[in-house]
Amino acid sequence: FTTPCVPATIPFFEGFENAEIGAYNNNTVPVCWTYLKTGPTANYPNGYVATTAAKTGTKHFYTYRGSTHAGESLLISPETQNLGNGLKRLRFSARNYFTGSSYGQKLSIYSMDGNTASANKTLIKTVVVPTTSYVEFIVYLPLSTTDDYFAFSFDEEAGLNKYIFID
């Protein structure tokens, strides 16, 4: 039995510490978060809570997509109320597992009107995660939105592997 999620009060903090640890074939997220993947392969791309390289605490979110793995890979927030109506920001840290010419570095942040594959999404910002050390990013959430979710999108980058951690 799971209690339905109510809209999150903003501000809120997620450090992944209370989520179950997952694996490539067991996508795990914190309570009320959603991991959404589309594409033809059952296990890839994948994303889950792990203990490989947390910035703070012992856990972080990890995603992997190989250069041939098609489809979307999104970590979607709990429902909010209009993303704070432009008065809030998203602050997070991210790093790559590997760097070099065969590894993708783009991480996009979207606003969404739902947490399903059919939800409409609007790009807020794309950041570059350039290093294997954590880098802090601040993304201001839009004023003129009625969207209630934000999402981290681990976009396909043609011919590139992607291994990104968020904490």
Q: For the chain, 167 residues long, give each residue's pLDDT as a single digit of tens.
A: 567 788 877 678 889 999 999 998 899 999 999 999 887 777 788 899 999 999 999 999 999 988 888 888 999 999 987 776 777 889 999 999 998 888 999 999 999 999 999 999 999 999 999 999 999 999 998 887 778 899 999 988 888 999 999 99
Q: What is the pTM of this model?
A: 0.91
pLDDT in tens, 128-155: 999 999 999 999 988 877 788 999 999 8
What phi, psi does 86 have (nearest 5°)? 80, 0
Number of C-beta neighbours around residue 72 at 10 A: 17
CB-neighbour burial class of residue 38 (10 A; exposed 0-12, middle 13-18, buried 19+): exposed
Q: What is the pLDDT of residue 1?
A: 55
Alpha carbon distance 116, 51 (integer Å):
27
Alpha carbon distance 49, 134 (integer Å):
16
Residue 112 CA from chain centroid, whole number: 13
Alpha carbon distance 130, 27 (integer Å):
25
